[in-house]
Amino acid sequence: MGLRMELSTLLDKHPGVGRYGRKLGVDAALVPGGASLYRAAAAAYEVITGDHDQMVRRQANIARALPLAWNGLYRYEQVYPLDAAPFHTVDMNVLIDHYDVFFIDALGTYKDESPIWQGAIGALKAIQQRGKTFLIVSNTPDLSVEFIIDQFKGTGVVVTPDQVAMAGQIFGKVFEKFGLKGKTVFDIGNTASAEYLKQAGVKVERDPHADFDAIVISKVKHLLYAERRYAARLTQIREVLREKVLGNPDLPVFLANADRALPFSIGFVENPAFSLAQYLVQGTSRPVDPETGKKYIVVGKPSIEIYEEALRRVSFLVPMGIRSVLCIGDTLWTDIQGANRLQLARPDLQVGSLLVLSGTEKKVNNMFSPRQLFKAMTETGIIPTAVLPRFALPG
């Protein structure tokens, strides 16, 4: 049986896929690399029908076929997380039952500028009630661990310091790798980021004209507000830093939060810290970081260090060890890409990823339709295990 007929037959066996899903699956054969994707989609549907051995043998290929295998990609209410085979339709309850530990992003995933969403509180309570563990894994180095914990007061969800892994907490490990321990860094940040940096063993400088050994872009919100209120001052700082970067190709630039957009009181907007990092290095001849493809160094997700820190904390929280982790977030580039890198770094763990459409990808990148989601995933090659409208239990 030809690949086209084979996949069409498999799709026909699944009543939930629908005509649009069948067409999308068949059309995959027509795009570059479609034949291998096609073959993987056929393997994926073998998994859905319950062949667990096939799943283990073909896990790598199956990950590439996920967009073709999701009922949730076409309806948003249900998903086919293929690593949870032989489940046919899955909601958040099934994901909670399947995974041991959950790494959960903050902004755009369980809250924005408003208090924590009620649906997310219900999902977090369900995780704890079933004896599972979750960690907040966030790229925001301008928020303290205590601030994150305080957000959960009165919700009925218990969060301890060991359950919070922030980008600021891995500065020490990153600086050690770059030989910056004991050196001076210029920090665009606040008191929380300065405290993280001091704990990492570096001196913090706030005068852009001074001598320093690295630039760290930590704080994000005050950059946006400074655009309005102190535009001339911010422009001066930018230009001074730009001149230093141009004059010294060895001066490293660290970006703690690589999210392209963030929730503010005025809605989701482009992350000004990301924009600043791009501006400082554009047109320079400095080497590209092979891990991210950028001329600056990303400290938080999708870099592996923050996941290593989260797993270190898990070793205390679950001393008996774990077999699986589900990474939940609203952004393909940071949350889902980071999960994919964790799987490569830790083949002994089953690492899944859940993209929720409550934040960046839907509200900023306009991924309102299945076609837009499929296009983004195929263009970037960043494929989550599952997609849901929000981090919440059904109903």
In this prediction, residue 2 carries a pLDDT of: 43
Distance, CA of 260 to CA of 81 (rounded, Å): 26
Instruction: Kindly tell me if the per-residue pLDDT of 49 is higher than 70.
Output: no
Q: Which residue has the tokens 């994150």?
A: 148
Residue 346 in this model has a pLDDT that exceeds 80: yes
State percent of the chain over pLDDT 70.
67
Chain mean pLDDT for the chain: 75
pLDDT of residue 378: 67
Question: Is residue 146's pLDDT more than 70?
Answer: yes
C-beta atoms surrounding 254 within 10 Å: 24
Better-scored residue on pLDDT, 265 or 157: 157
Question: Does position 5 have pLDDT exceeding 70, yes or no?
Answer: no
* Stronger pLDDT, 263 or 201, i.e. the higher one: 201
Return the ∠ at Cα 219 (arms to 214 and 225), rounded to 5°: 130
CATH class, 97-368 region: alpha beta
Residue 320 has pLDDT above 70, yes or no: yes
Q: How confident is the model at residue 41 (pLDDT cuts 50, 70, 90)?
A: very low
Q: Counting beta carbons within 10 angstroms of the beta carbon of residue 207, is it exposed (0 to 12), middle (13 to 18) or buried (19 or more)?
A: exposed
The arithmetic mean of pLDDT across residues 42-51, rounded, is: 42
Mean pLDDT of the 82-87 span: 31
pLDDT beyond 80 at 316: yes
Which of 1-10, 56-65, 176-185 reaches the highest mean pLDDT?
Answer: 176-185
Highest mean pLDDT among 145-149, 224-228, 293-297 belongs to 145-149
3-class DSSP string for the chain? CCHHHHHHHHHHCCCCCHHHHHHHHHHHHHCCCHHHHHHHHHHHHHHHCCCHHHHHHCHHHHHHHHHHHCCHHHHCCCECCHHHCCCCCECHHHHHHHCCEEEECCECCCECCCCCCHHHHHHHHHHHHCCCEEEEEECCCCCCHHHHHHCCCCCCCCCCHHHEEEHHHHHHHHHHHCCCCCCEEEEECCHHHHHHHHHCCCEEECCCCCCCCEEEECCCHHHHHHHHHCHHHHHHHHHHHHHHHHHCCCCCEEECCCCCEEEECCEEEECHHHHHHHHHHCCCCCCCCCCCCCCCEECCCCCHHHHHHHHHHHHHHCCCCCCEEEEEECCHHHHHHHHHHHHHHCCCCEEEEEEECCCHHHHCCCCCCHHHHHHHHHHHCCCCCEEECCCCCCC
Q: What is the pLDDT of residue 232?
A: 62
Check whether 269 has a pLDDT greater than 80: no
Residue spans of the domains in the chain: they are 1-90, 97-368
pLDDT of residue 366: 60
Single out the residue of 315, 321, 357 nearest to residue 336, CA to CA. 357
Q: What is the pLDDT of residue 257?
A: 85
> pLDDT, tens digit, for every residue of 202-240?
999 989 999 999 999 987 555 555 555 555 667 788 899
Strand order in the sheet with 133-138: 164-166, 133-138, 101-104, 324-329, 350-356, 386-388
Task: Provide the pLDDT for residue 255.
Answer: 92
Query: Do 350 and 325 touch, CB atoms closer than 8 A?
Result: yes
